[in-house]
Chain A
Amino acid sequence: MISINDLHAGYGALSVLFGVSLHVAEGQTLALIGSNGAGKTTTFSVLTGFVKPRSGKVTLNGSVISGLTPTDIVSMGLAMVPEGRRLFPSLTVEENLMIGAHCDRKGTWDLQRVYSVFPTLEPLRKRPSSSLSGGQQQLVAIGRALMSNPIVLLCDELSLGLSPAAVDVVYTAISRLRAEGMTLIIVEQDISRALASSDIYACMRHGGIPLSGPSAGADRAQISSAYFGMD
């Protein structure tokens, strides 16, 4: 479904990624974990087209997407729920959802389906997005990304700044998407939550992936060592 092969990337003279390779099959969920500065955000920036890779490539459904513009990548089926939700404050809830469909990609996700998956949003449709709670905003951000009918959905720090109850609501929505067969890559600081919500995990450190494997039965001590670099 989506493959990252020997990816090297950085900003100016600063190199951040050193040969990152990952593969996520159709319907799988990958949890990308790692401390701040490990390279998770840069990996997402390359996937979404905001950072051009120095070498290596990313393929989505067999088509190379690395080096394309962000708008072209969305049109090819990769959508993202950005860190901090980043809803458009001057748009209503429904307008935020509709803007997700801007690229006119064909598929089964439309307003009706988003409202059926996130029923709490329908009564709020005319409200300014900025008037919603953090958890409601996160559901809008997920719904907005789904409106582009993605093949793969990237979710960056879904629980950031949310109450524990709101995090539960958001991850219930993620579970539902997984059950429906959506392919996901999630970045999450809460390792327990990340492992419980994924099929496979990859732990990043210093721009590489020292540890990866199936999430079920993952060795927490081994992950902590890789996470903090206690080799």
Chain B
Amino acid sequence: MNVRITAQPFDPWAEVQARQAARPQQAGKFGATAVFVGTMRDFNEGDEVRGMFLEHYPGMTERYLETISAEAGTRWDLVDTLIVHRVGELHPAEPIVLVAVWSAHRKDAFEASRWLMEELKSRAPFWKKEQLPESSRWVEHNTTG
């Protein structure tokens, strides 16, 4: 189980590869890897979005993501999980979040990754401020998925 918050752009596919390479003892133990990547759009609610600032609560955010990762491990039969989340200044097309789940079987991998993503969105302390062409605004509700 691993959680990382980063202010630098990241490559989610390289993160998945690096995690697997760093844990050779897991090779052969998992038959399913479910990967969700959330990427910044250039539109929201009908407006052009030029950039975004992602704020978090250092300490609490990491703790919350570690808590839900551990809880996923009690609800499903998992080999490993990885969550990487951007903070700071972002631009359209940059990855925001990676949730990867390794399991023996696809049902656990799919269900746990979906659950982790929904828990992250609804409870993890992150806040988005969108930069529009003429103004900026805090996003204060999520889309339904």
A and B part of one assembly: no
Residues of B in contact with A (beta carbons under 8 Å apart): none
